[in-house]
Chains A and B, each alone.
Chain A
Amino acid sequence: MTAPLLETRDLVKHFPLSRSVGQFLRRSSADAIHAVDGVSLEMFPAETMGLIGESGSGKTTLGWLAARLHEPTSGKILFHGKDIGEFDREELRRWRSRVQVVFQDPVGSLDPRMRVWQLVGEPIRAQEHGITKAELKDRVAQVLPMVGLPEGSLEQYPHEFSGGGRQRLSLARALSLHPELVILDEPTSALDVAVQAQILNRLVSLQKEQQFAYLLITHNVAAVRFVADRVAVMYLGKIAELGPVRGVLEHPVHPYTKALLAALPEVNVRRRRTRYRVTGEIPTLVHPPPGCRFAARCPFVVDRCRTEEPLLRTVPGDAGRLVACHRAEEIGDVSPQELIVQVGAPAPPATGG
């Protein structure tokens, strides 16, 4: 087995809230939002790790931590076995060329007053001081066809592009230094399905050619299915389930993964007219509940779930899979469809076995 490209060990990120008057008088410490709470995962070179979860699950924070755009509260991030928290200024600058981020909002992340060659060339310029304008334009012109933009668009401004075009620009900027790891934060959520398909195809073909590793952060399960090799499901700052994408999406073990898959709107009209069985909302991250964080909404909850926190562990019979659930063995065979009740039709028979 190859050495991991990126490894996080018990990564924790708390965002402190300002102290209330009461807390100030009692001299107690301020509350904090537990955005990422003890995440350990490994990523290998040229692999795509999908990170799915709902808003507030901490998936974006984890991505930002991996790019060192946030400093972790505790825990370590290792890149090729080296702790990136201990890098000095120069090491950090050089490391940045190997890890790049594509942000969610292509409008907000592109400076409207910069031309394409300036935008896409900015990372190159940061790494290679003294590069001339002609050389820079040359380099950018080589990058643009990679993402399917015409070379002639060097002098254009971002507003001249459509939403898909802007996302391609962001991607070109991230790829301009041929990084080893690209962190994609909701790369297609602002795009329509037809454009999304174009971008996803491009991501997959680029990975085949250039051996990038992707960390794909999204709530779009369909995109993860198409792009990812392995997938991690996050809920309230913790990983609920992790494993190969086909296994996790076809035979989810954790109740939250099942709920997420059951909630997906289905284009297949034969399966519509359904009633969804998981209720309740995502609890607050300021005072996460003791025990399992999904217990309040879980249809399979037992008393033990409310007191004892389940740890991420392997499930017997499936080596690549990690699940954080006390009842993983018992409920592993329940299919997501059983969380849906057909309206006006008898509930589907339990598949079992």
Chain B
Amino acid sequence: MGPLLHVDHLSVDYEVGAGTFHALRDVSFELTPGRVVGIVGETGCGKSTLAHAIPRLLPEPPARIRSGRVVFQDTDLLAVPKWKMPMVRGTSIGMIFQEPINSLNPAFRVYDQLTEAVRIRRLREAGLAPSFQAPQPHDYSKGAQVKGSDALARTLTPAPPPRSFGRKGPDPEELRKEALEYLRLVRINDPETILGLYPHELSGGMRQRIMIAMALSEKPSLLIADEPTSALDITIQAQVLTLMKELMDEVQTSILFISHDLGVIAEMADEVGVMYAGSLVEFGPVDQVFESPGHPYTKALLHSVPNRYKDGGPLPSLPGSVPNLSRLPAGCTFAPRCALAREKCRADPGPALEPVPAAPAGSSHRSACFFASEVPTLP
């Protein structure tokens, strides 16, 4: 069995009036089923662009996918026609966004929003609604136009099974029961009451749990969580993270977890990718990356976490700031701020991810630095 998700040399640009911003450059990584891959980086490094590019939620234009493939369950999602993408979303790839209040519809009760997800999954399972199938029977290359008439004539699903649901779809009573189950799954007390409430009547932690319940109720093979706890308080964040870890085993999903918080990534992820200025500079098992980083940026990032008292001297901090994504330097993007930078780094755009010399044999720990062997010598 291959990887669940294989992002292969993905590059995304934003073309706006001020110029072309290279938000993602040659990002490649794999996610094996049942694992959590964390993506960490500073603001503007392309984390969220990556999260939205996988289920193709980027607005195009201004975004433009320049090159690469996103292979999900052996199908290149970038080659799937756009009108088919809603079939992928939800049941195959679920998403949890940063601000739960922005993702819940304020005009509908929790019941309506949660059962909508359950109903869609049930219809898809019963073959009454079109669903994503892998592998795709036809190769729709991105350039080829799909004729409207053609699309309508083509059967999207296997022959419909006997109509067990009748015309109206699943039984509302069953939907309600299932929605309650998912609310219990995310440890909500008194789910009956919660179902009848509107999003504004809930606290932030509660809302995020509803979002998790919604995402899980579609039983996605891949869950993309884009900063799911950044808007929450520390104690509530700890509860939600604990919950997500417990639910991983219960519903058997894989998670792509995106966060700017190194601590959260350390607790959640099995493997971590570190992003800087749109490219993945390091990727590997989380303990190896955090304990013996193979890229100077990772090391600097880990060192700037305040972990000492005032009398312990100043915090080590990175000089300079993140480069402008529309005017990237010629060589390695990190070279202007890097203590190890030499002539080679300023001229050559830097190597692709290569195995870190210090990593144990067979490890997936890779970094994009010419001088990875010298990183441990940095202060």
Whether, in the assembled complex, B308 has its beta carbon less than 8 Å from a beta carbon of chain A, the answer is yes
Q: Are B316 and A272 in contact (CB under 8 A)?
A: no
Q: How large is the interface on A (under 10, 10 to 19, 20 to 34, 35 or more residues)?
A: 35 or more
Q: Which residues of B contact A3 (CB under 8 A)?
A: none
* Bound complex: CA A270 to CA B287 (Å): 8
Say which residue of A246, A266, A281 sits within 8 Å of B203 (CB atoms): A281
Q: Which residues of B contact A269 (CB under 8 A)?
A: 266, 286-287, 290-291
Whether, in the assembled complex, B102 has its beta carbon less than 8 Å from a beta carbon of chain A, the answer is no
* Bound complex: CA A282 to CA B239 (Å): 13
* Bound complex: CA A164 to CA B235 (Å): 27
Q: Are A262 and B239 in contact (CB under 8 A)?
A: no
Q: Are A267 and B260 in contact (CB under 8 A)?
A: no
Whether, in the assembled complex, B317 has its beta carbon less than 8 Å from a beta carbon of chain A, the answer is yes
Q: Are B263 and A267 in contact (CB under 8 A)?
A: yes
Cβ contacts A257-284/B at 8 Å (1 or 0 each) = 0011011111111101111101101100
Q: Are A194 and B308 in contact (CB under 8 A)?
A: no
Whether, in the assembled complex, A25 has its beta carbon less than 8 Å from a beta carbon of chain B, the answer is no
Q: Are B263 and A194 in contact (CB under 8 A)?
A: no
Q: Are A162 and B291 in contact (CB under 8 A)?
A: no
Whether A192 contacts B42 in the complex (CB less than 8 A), given A197-B315, A200-B306, A269-B291, comes out as yes
Say which residue of B233, B239, B246, B266 sits within 8 Å of A265 (CB atoms): B266
Q: Are A263 and B234 in contact (CB under 8 A)?
A: yes
Whether, in the assembled complex, B245 has its beta carbon less than 8 Å from a beta carbon of chain A, the answer is yes
* Bound complex: CA A48 to CA B291 (Å): 33
Q: Which residues of A contact B310 (CB under 8 A)?
A: 48, 204, 226-229
Whether A194 contacts B235 in the complex (CB less than 8 A), given A246-B309, A267-B266, A267-B290, comes out as no
* Bound complex: CA A193 to CA B291 (Å): 18
Q: Which residues of B contact A229 (CB under 8 A)?
A: 310
* Bound complex: CA A165 to CA B239 (Å): 34
* Bound complex: CA A229 to CA B310 (Å): 8
Q: What is the total number of residues of chain B having a CB less than 8 Å from a CB of chain A?
A: 44
Whether A281 contacts B206 in the complex (CB less than 8 A), given A226-B310, A267-B262, A267-B305, comes out as yes
Whether, in the assembled complex, B252 has its beta carbon less than 8 Å from a beta carbon of chain A, the answer is no
Q: Are B309 and A276 in contact (CB under 8 A)?
A: no
Whether A193 contacts B321 in the complex (CB less than 8 A), given A204-B314, A263-B237, comes out as no
Q: Are A266 and B314 in contact (CB under 8 A)?
A: no
Say which residue of B234, B263, B304 sits within 8 Å of A54 (CB atoms): B234
Whether, in the assembled complex, B58 has its beta carbon less than 8 Å from a beta carbon of chain A, the answer is no
Q: Which residues of A contact B301 (CB under 8 A)?
A: 193-194
Of the listed stretches A128-136, A170-178, A217-225, name the one at the interface; the rest are far from the partner chain.
A217-225
B15 CB to closest chain A CB (Å) equals: 21
Tell me the B341-357 residues at the A interface (CB within 8 Å): none
Q: Are B234 and A274 in contact (CB under 8 A)?
A: no
Whether, in the assembled complex, B57 has its beta carbon less than 8 Å from a beta carbon of chain A, the answer is no
A277 CB to closest chain B CB (Å) equals: 9
Q: Are A263 and B235 in contact (CB under 8 A)?
A: yes
Q: Are B309 and A197 in contact (CB under 8 A)?
A: no
Q: Which residues of A contact B205 (CB under 8 A)?
A: 281
Q: Are A195 and B321 in contact (CB under 8 A)?
A: yes
Whether, in the assembled complex, B302 has its beta carbon less than 8 Å from a beta carbon of chain A, the answer is yes
Q: Are A201 and B317 in contact (CB under 8 A)?
A: yes
Whether, in the assembled complex, A245 has its beta carbon less than 8 Å from a beta carbon of chain B, the answer is yes
Whether, in the assembled complex, A18 has its beta carbon less than 8 Å from a beta carbon of chain B, the answer is no
Whether, in the assembled complex, B264 has its beta carbon less than 8 Å from a beta carbon of chain A, the answer is yes
Say which residue of A197, A227, A246, A264 sits within 8 Å of B263 (CB atoms): A264
Q: Are A276 and B266 in contact (CB under 8 A)?
A: no
Q: Which residues of A contact B308 (CB under 8 A)?
A: 225-226
Whether, in the assembled complex, B43 has its beta carbon less than 8 Å from a beta carbon of chain A, the answer is yes
Whether, in the assembled complex, B238 has its beta carbon less than 8 Å from a beta carbon of chain A, the answer is yes
Q: Are A343 and B245 in contact (CB under 8 A)?
A: yes
Q: Are A196 and B238 in contact (CB under 8 A)?
A: no
* Bound complex: CA A194 to CA B205 (Å): 28
Q: Which residues of B contact A263 (CB under 8 A)?
A: 234-235, 237-238
Say which residue of A48, A54, A204, A227 sits within 8 Å of B233 (CB atoms): A54
Q: Are B234 and A272 in contact (CB under 8 A)?
A: no
* Cβ contacts A to B, 10 pairs, < 8 Å: A195-B321, A201-B315, A222-B307, A225-B309, A228-B310, A269-B287, A270-B287, A279-B239, A281-B203, A282-B203
Question: Across chains A and B, which 5 residue pairs bring their CB atoms closest together, nearest first?
Answer: A265-B263, A263-B238, A197-B317, A197-B304, A54-B233
Apart from A193-B304, A228-B310, A263-B237, what 8 extra A-B contacts exist at CB < 8 Å? Answer: A54-B236, A192-B42, A194-B304, A226-B309, A265-B238, A267-B262, A268-B290, A269-B291
